[in-house]
Structure formats: C-alpha cells, structure tokens
A = this chain, B = another copy of it.
Amino acid sequence: MSDTLPRTELSSLGEFGLIERIASRIQLTQDSSVKGIGDDAAVIDPQGLHQVVTTDMLVEGVHFDLGYVPLKHLGYKAIVVNLSDVYAMNATPHQVTVAIALSNRFPVEAIDELYEGMAQACAHYGVDLVGGDTCSSTSGLVIAVTAIGSAKKEDIVYRSGAKENDLLVVTGDLGGAYMGLQVLEREKAVFKETGAQPDLAGHDYILERQLKPEARKDIIELLKKLDVKPTSMIDISDGLASEVLHLCRQSGIGAMVHDQKLPIDPTTYRTARDFNLDPSTCALNGGEDYELLFTVAQADYEKVKGNPSLSVIGHMTDKASGYHLVDKHGGTHELRAQGWDAFLRKE
C-alpha cells in the first residue's frame, strides 16, 4: 500500500457500502450466470452440463505475505488457484464466489486493488464473480474462493482413472514458483537486516510464477483439439511428487518418474543452483506451479509427443511396483512427497 494512495477508512463505507462498491464494478459475461451479486444467492443455468465445484482458502501469514505480495496480484492468484482445480477436472470454470475477512487496517483503496486483481483474472479466464461475503477480521486477511465450472458428464476426468502402462504427462515447467518464493524470502530477509532495496533483477520469470501464476485453460482446449481425453488428471499445487502419489493411490497403481524428463526452466535451474538447491528436488516438491499432471493411454502417445506444452515424464506401473524416481544415472529411488504441509509451515 503506497503512501501516495488516498486512504478511505473501511468503516466509512460499511459492509453494504463495500458490497455495493464491489458489485458496481462487476458485469456478468457468461450465458450461464442468471443472477450475480445482490440476492440471497447467485443463480446459474447449467445448460444441460454437469457442474464442478471447488473451494480454496488463502490466509495471510500462511499462504501469502503482504510484505512482498501486491494486493492486485493476490486477488489474481486467489481466483487462478481455484480455476486451476476446475481445469484439472477437464471442465471449464464460469463462476466464482469470493468471501473475504479483513481488518480495519485495510483502507478501501486496498480492497479495490484486491478486487481489481480478481476482476482481471475473471476477465482473462471468462469467469463471472457472482457472489460472496465480506466481513471483518480481528487480525489478518482471509480469502475463500469457490469456483464453479461445467463439463459434459462424459468429459470429466477424475484422479482415479489412471491405468497401468498409461503415460504420465505434465504441462509447462516445474519448480519456478518455489524458486520465486525463495528469492522473495531472501530479499525480504536482506531488507530487514540491512534496509537494502530488493534485488529482483533477472528473476522475472520465477517471480511471475510465484506472484501471478496462470491456470492452464489452454491445455483443456489443447486436449480437445488433440482429441485426447486423459485417463486421470490433477493440478500441481503441493508439488509434482505429491500429486503423482495422489493419482497412484486413487487409481490403485504405481508410477515410474524419470528425473531427466522433468521440465525445468533455465531461470529456475540457475536460481536453484545459486541457492545450493537441487533443481530436480525443487521441481518435484516445490509446489504452487498450477500446471496439470495427467495420464494418457499409450495409444495417445503420437498425439502428445513433441508438443512444446507437454512433457512425458514417466509411466504408470502395477500397484506392487510402488512409486519410483529414476535418477540421472539410472538408479531408482522411492518417490516421496516432501511438499509443504499447511499445518507444518510457519506455525
């Protein structure tokens, strides 16, 4: 919050005033949005499709640090992480509801920034903000977003459909969001100790991965174009290893992941090395990449191979074989999830 911004106290608006302020800036764009903000509930016309629903909560001091996360980016990210869950069902999001708890330390202008970021995400992904709640908090900012999407029943992809010998495919590249966070945390520590301005040069890509991640709407469209229906799918929020294990356990099979196949951006690689971290470990356990991880039948290999957005990183095995990582030298190790656990972090 810059000192140059005007500061309007939240209490001067009141809850209804704030809701009106938010609502006045929102236009419904989706045919399926029958009624948005302003009644006891929003109304959606499913148009003959199944609906998918997902909820995520972001808590100040746990999921974000306003010391280095601009509110506009936070609003954008709060929407995106939920849309990512909808895409992971092979569905298309059309509506979100947003509940926020915030204290009086936030001026109205800060809330405007937060909702501006949400509005940008909604516009970018073709989603309507149709409802929610605003209330006061005794301490930090809490944001709960529910995203609602739709898909034909037969198009929905679950975590549980992977079969032995299916190929394991991941989109984009991994570990970037985690390394972005490391850079932000380092510069924050330096600033606290020395007062030196943050040196973020050369880290644009990984900072964007952390601060303004995107959900892979394009992949859902690509899969349709390629005529590929994944047998299982999940989004990568906790880290690749953790998500592979989810697919394995829910599908009742094993997996073999090849370290050398992990897609890692050069910036991520270089920064990990600077931090004396193993880039593969960052890719496997970093989390918050919001890429999609899915399995496809071997018969679909020709359709996915060579696509710049897709990396085949391994294959599914029988359950008894377990979960393995093949290292650069051909050695195999048990694949373990070391992603962060919400209850072990920053408590």
Closest to A59 in B: B101
- A97 near B146: Cβ-Cβ < 8 Å: yes
Q: How far is the CA of A347 from the CA of B103 in the complex (A)?
A: 8
Chain A residues within 8 Å of chain B by Cβ, number = 79
- B51 near A235: Cβ-Cβ < 8 Å: no
| Residues in chain B near residue A63, CB distance under 8 A | 135
Within 8 A of B (CB), among A46-93: 46, 48-57, 59-63, 85-86, 88-89, 91
With an 8 A cutoff between CB atoms, is A43 at the interface?
A: yes
With an 8 A cutoff between CB atoms, is A317 at the interface?
A: no
**0/1 string, A115-134, CB within 8 A of B gives 1:** 00000000000000011111
With an 8 A cutoff between CB atoms, is A41 at the interface?
A: yes
Q: How far is the CA of A86 from the CA of B46 in the complex (A)?
A: 17
Closest to A150 in B: B46
- A136 near B53: Cβ-Cβ < 8 Å: no
- The segment out of A265-273, A277-285, A319-327, A336-344 that lies at the interface is A336-344
Q: How far is the CB of A127 from chain B (nearest CB, A)?
A: 13
- The segment out of A152-160, A165-173, A181-189, A216-224 that lies at the interface is A152-160
- A345 near B131: Cβ-Cβ < 8 Å: no
- The segment out of A31-39, A196-204, A254-262, A304-312 that lies at the interface is A31-39
- B50 near A137: Cβ-Cβ < 8 Å: no
| Residues in chain B near residue A114, CB distance under 8 A | none
- B56 near A159: Cβ-Cβ < 8 Å: no
- A53 near B62: Cβ-Cβ < 8 Å: no
With an 8 A cutoff between CB atoms, is A30 at the interface?
A: no
Give the residue of B38, B98, B146, B158 whose beta carbon is less than 8 angstroms from that of A39. B158
Q: How far is the CB of A157 from chain B (nearest CB, A)?
A: 9
Give the residue of B45, B55, B130 whose beta carbon is less than 8 angstroms from that of A132. B55
- B136 near A57: Cβ-Cβ < 8 Å: no
| Residues in chain B near residue A46, CB distance under 8 A | 46, 49-51
Q: How far is the CB of A132 from chain B (nearest CB, A)?
A: 5
Given contact pairs A54-B42, A54-B97, A158-B35, A343 touches B132 in the complex (Cβ within 8 A): no
**0/1 string, A1-31, CB within 8 A of B gives 1:** 0000000001101111010000000000000
With an 8 A cutoff between CB atoms, is A104 at the interface?
A: yes
| Residues in chain B near residue A132, CB distance under 8 A | 55
- B40 near A343: Cβ-Cβ < 8 Å: no
With an 8 A cutoff between CB atoms, is A250 at the interface?
A: yes
Given contact pairs A53-B42, A104-B347, A344-B14, A60 touches B138 in the complex (Cβ within 8 A): yes
| Residues in chain B near residue A138, CB distance under 8 A | 59-62, 139-140, 346
Please list the 6 inter-chain residue pairs (A to B) with the smallest Cβ-Cβ separation, ordered nearest first: A144-B144, A41-B54, A40-B88, A46-B46, A57-B99, A41-B52
Question: Given known contacts A39-B250, A45-B50, what 12 new A-B pairs fall within 8 Å (CB)?
Answer: A13-B343, A15-B341, A40-B86, A41-B85, A42-B53, A42-B54, A43-B50, A45-B153, A57-B99, A97-B146, A136-B343, A146-B146
